[in-house]
Chain A
Amino acid sequence: MIFIWLIKEAFVSLWRHKLRSFFAVVGVMVGIAAVIALVSIGKGVEKDVKKTVEGVGTNLIVVLSGKIDTSQSNFNQSAMGNPANFISGDILKRQDADEIAKVEGVKAVAPIALASGSIRRDGQTSTSMIMGTYPQIKDVMTGFSIRYGRFLDDSDSNKQNIVVGDFVKEQLFGDKDNIVGEKVMVGKDEFEIIGQLEKPKDAGALFSSDYESIAIISMGEAKRLNGGADKILRIAVSAKDSTDVSATVERIKQNMLLRHKDDEFSVLTQEDLLDMISSIISLLTTAVTAIAAISLIVGGIGISSVMFMSVADRTREIGIRKALGATSVLIMFQFLVESVVLAVLGGALGLVLALAVNEVVDAKTVIEPSVTVSVVILALAFCMGVGVLFGLLPAARAAMKDPVEALRQG
């Protein structure tokens, strides 16, 4: 009961100095807004990645050049091993793909190479990347589907045939819907569009743009465009049985070791990728939290100084209250409640601000920020802590005021 009374009194006295109260909470407001917005954006990205991975299929195994150690729970710089290996495209060979195809438990294999050159038509250039791969890529990654025309098959291995995503259509053909049969230039060669990719429905928004921004040609054509080099970025593998993925990964590693050193390649499952992305996000979240903590401390100092001002202003009031029988503890409590109300109010404003930011992010980007109840509760609890911590000193000063001195003032 006394609590409700104190809270009501706190609101009344804060309202009396609206502007001052507002300035007191700006710091806390911005801090809380930053935390909630960034955490919810992080959550949105994570959700999106999960959706993509699930869309692509849990049977997917990826062989990469360079060493990525996923046994470490935290993904960090040192876990990336030699960055030179990581970047270099000339470690993985077609032979690796062909050998992995023979490994027990492997259903299909497709190397993915980056072909040099860009797609042009009538002086316009598309930003699409050109990938060389096997027709089997369609069986390895479940994300591909065709809107018009057909996908690559074995008959295309030495033909200038190309399958394109939506970027090529939009950037080079404008409004035209079906561009199958049209011709485009890659380097000095003319390619015929034989198929158009459809944006997958079940992939996350962040990664579905991959399917829009790529164009696919045969591995043989890619090698020719690259002047005879494979330039394989990764080898995509699908396992026959989703329950046997880790054993298959182990066999692929053994197979790769026959031709490569241990630190030249990595074999990752979708789960590994998911874990990695999650740990990158949680690393970012930690950094954000640290920044937010600092801004909350700054906000807390703001509250503290406004509370000190308020205590000085209300010296006579404190004297009267004590004369009327308020104990020092009650006075202390009264001012503490006031600073907690101030901090929580700041947090609530911050929450509103964060929701507004999320709304903008949602509207302007593919990310859908997601706010969880636990984040909100945690943030408000944090505000309460800030209110108590930074209200303690001013409240103690109020409580210790001598009533006679206080009454003689003013």
Chain B
Amino acid sequence: MAKKEIVIKAKDLQKTYRLGRRNYVNALNGVDFELEKSDFVALVGPSGSGKSTFMHLVGLLQAPSAGKIWIKGEEMTKVSKRSYPRFRAEHIGFVFQGFNLIPTLTAKENVMLSGRYAGMSHRLARDHAEELLAKFGLQDRMNHKPDELSGGQQQRVAIARALINSPAIILADEPTGELDSKTSREVVEMLKELNSSGQTILIVTHNTEVAKMAKKIVEMKDGRIV
């Protein structure tokens, strides 16, 4: 059996927010975590349990107070933070809850943006964006602005944008948070399909129905994985 490839690994991850001189919140209290390639994990847990904080840390948007993070085998907590933006652009695809898209840009331009940040040429980004949007059934919506799209369509554009650089992982923080149950199911179906063709996905959700569609469910409570 081939050695399994670990995309994300976290060891004893801690995050403390200082609120005052003596007052602080331990958002994460030593999280150990591993995510294999082609996995589809749903992170669940009560509000305030630290799910978003965890996503932000492994997404290199924020530095941990303690602990280590590896992405594709590289220890990111050792690497210069100046390389983080480019690393994010190339290897991590984000999807957030609602209002994901830049309102002044069209669907296509939103998708292209990620490509451009990763250093893609205008032409290549455009071709890729058109291809992805067509694949997601948005070929007639490419030149529409976000406010001309439905919530489900907006999330599909956001997923296309997350995919343009063929990232090692997609981090989705409550991507269905603002969608009705039917549209939610459609969006998760889409993620599932991407996963079946090998895309590694980590999704945060409150919705048990959504969580059940993932391959694995991981639960957090009070800043720990339980």
Contact = CB atoms under 8 A, between A and B. Distances in A.
B209 to A, nearest CB: 25
Nearest to A407: B96
A324 B96 contact: no
B100 to A, nearest CB: 7
A325 B86 CA distance: 5
Contacts of B94: 320, 323-324
A320 B102 contact: yes
Contacts of B33: none
Given A5-B122, A317-B103, A410-B99, A324 B61 contact: no
B114 A324 contact: yes
B88 A404 contact: no
Interface in B100-153: 100-105, 113-114, 116-118, 121-122
A322 interface: yes
Interface stretch (A8-16, A99-107, A120-128, A252-260): A8-16
B116 A5 contact: yes
A320 B96 contact: yes
Nearest to B90: A325
Nearest to B118: A325
A13 B102 CA distance: 10
Interface residues of A, number: 24
B175 interface: no
Contacts of A223: none
Q: Is the interface of A mostly helix, strand, loop or mixed?
A: helix
Interface in A199-248: none
A5 B126 CA distance: 13
A321 B102 contact: yes
Nearest to A12: B104
B59 A323 contact: yes
B85 interface: yes
Given A404-B56, A404-B62, A326 B117 contact: yes
A58 B40 CA distance: 93
A403 B161 contact: no
A322 B122 CA distance: 19
B170 interface: no
A1 B85 contact: no
A184 B121 CA distance: 87
Contacts of B116: 2, 5
Contacts of A12: 104-105
A330 B59 CA distance: 20
Contacts of B121: 1
A409 to B, nearest CB: 10
A367 B28 CA distance: 77
Contacts of B85: 322, 325-328
Contacts of B214: none
Interface of B: 56, 59, 61-62, 85-90, 94, 96, 99-105, 113-114, 116-118, 121-122, 161
Given A16-B103, A325-B114, A407-B61, 10 more contacts: A1-B122, A5-B116, A9-B104, A324-B89, A324-B114, A324-B117, A325-B85, A325-B117, A327-B85, A402-B62
21 contacts: A1-B121, A1-B122, A5-B116, A9-B105, A12-B104, A317-B102, A320-B94, A320-B100, A320-B101, A321-B117, A323-B94, A324-B113, A324-B114, A325-B87, A325-B88, A325-B90, A325-B117, A328-B85, A330-B117, A404-B62, A407-B96
- What 10 A-B pairs come out closest when comparing CB atoms? A325-B89, A325-B117, A327-B85, A325-B88, A13-B104, A323-B94, A324-B114, A403-B61, A404-B62, A12-B104
